[in-house]
Structure 1
Amino acid sequence: MSDRRELLVAAREQVADGVVRLTLRDPNGDPVPAWEPGAHIDLLLDEGLERQYSLCGDPADRTELRIAVLREPVGRGGSAKVHSELVPGSRVRIRGPRNNFALVDAKRYLFLAGGIGITPILPMLAAADAARADWRLVYGGRTRASMAFADELRAEFGDRVTVCPQDETGLLDLDALLDAPDPATAVYCCGPEPLLAAVEQRCGSWPPGALHVERFAAVADNGPRAGFEVELARSGKTLTVTSDRSILETVEDAGVQVLSSCREGTCGTCETDVVEGTPDHRDSLLTEQEREAGETMMICVSRAQCAKLVLDL
């Protein structure tokens, strides 16, 4: 695809227990792709092994891209490959950037980060600070040694940053942080699923659109899996999606090329416009307002609430 390119690993440094930061540059010295806070890239590590990592550098610096990668001891091989093989001088293919976690304009921001979830929030802090917005970061992790960038953030931003290692302070006090809904505050949260679920629950009484989350892992799909038809408006094909196949798999089997990556509804690569019909959204990306509008869907996991969907494919 046209947004794929090969970059050079220019630097690598350990920034916390189990976390390395990689600096990627164009091998010919060309500018790297433009991006904004909240964006991520896909690392194309091997055939069928693609992983998404948030950009955590400076969007104004077009000479490099920076990512920080936690080695997951029970992961699926992506982080292990990054940690074991990507060293200065290595080449790596990327796709993107794309942004499903964009920073909206707001009077105030509350940033909540858990562990490696700090990465997409780093450039957001700089942007909010440059805009002279009122903001606060509460950053939790297992131990102080496991929390990348904690010391740098405290040194740069002082009391605006609260660092909460679980072994010292316990879990984040979300009840105190989110007890009073504020229409002027945008809440941004990234981290492990238990943190995201707890924040979503407590933000249930906040104004629609106040909470913005980004997930690294898919939410469990326990919904019914009936079959349905999909009509591909541009390809002129009508296909049957069986209960044991996804729309994406069915479309690929029919020879229609669709850009995809995570295949679990977390990265947004396969987002497709809906021409007719009502999607059954099962992704971890779209907001409630976007789900209700039904204008797009992630065809790697989402299904249909009707007998037939018409998609712009």
Structure 2
Amino acid sequence: MSVSHDPHQRTVLAPAICAGVGVHTGRRVRLVVRPAPAGAGIVFVRTDVTDRDNRIRVSGEAVVDARLNTMIENAAGVRLSTIEHLMAAFAALGIANVVVEVDGPELPILDGSALGFVQLLDRAGFRRQPTPVRFIEILEPVHVTEGDKHAALTPCDRYEMRFEIDFPTPVIGNQVIDFVVDEATFRTDIMSARTFGFAHEVEALRQAGLARGGSLENAVVIDGDQILNPGGLRMEREFVRHKALDAIGDLYVLGAPLLGRYDGYKAGHAVNNKLVRALLAQPHAWRETVRVPELARAG
């Protein structure tokens, strides 16, 4: 059943378990996604933290760092990094209520996309819940700018996204993607797009103690006008598709799918969170609704 046509919240049917390496810490972590009751929302639990509150409920305000990834923190100072790819999978599959247990400070990067997380959730299965889906309907435009980067949310009767990137390297150049955010499109066009970086930046990050788990197994790495990955790209415009994937995950910290249009230009995690906070600061610009959106009727 596609989430696009289901007006009810979802959780997983059974626990889903995976393990992998954190891209920045280089630490191996184990992750378990467990079912949660309707209305519980998405809660991460740092099982390796035992001396204080280790539960972090996802919200726009919980995001404390968005420079290289999306990091959340609770009132006790417990943090968790790189949640955006799993959050994108939750958003696209309509997962509204789960508890995610992690035994380290960062989620596993897997292959650098959301593919592994979608496969994990598919294996667990989905359970429809009696509570209707709560949408965040955009009523007035909200816009944020940071240098030459910007992002906006505008009213729309379905969830649409347009993303544009522009890099001076011919390997990337100018790329645009414009689509309806639903489960079918996410599965075919978005979820397999991997994170990317430049060889000189990776070295600088490692000097700063970051990207310790980064490799050609979990990122597209560009050096000059060449892609270092032996297999090259997975798909046309993989770079902008991944930026859209990130944006879907970054916006889902709002706790509900959008009825609105997102437009991003060169936007990263920081700009996306700035947009989330700008929306929350303008209560007149949005409302919660449980109406079924008029989404693309595929299938």
- Return the index of the structure with the highest Cα Rg: 1
TM over 0.5: no
Q: Which has the higher contact order (CA 8 A, sep 6+)?
A: 2
- TM-score for the superposition, normalised by structure 2: 0.27
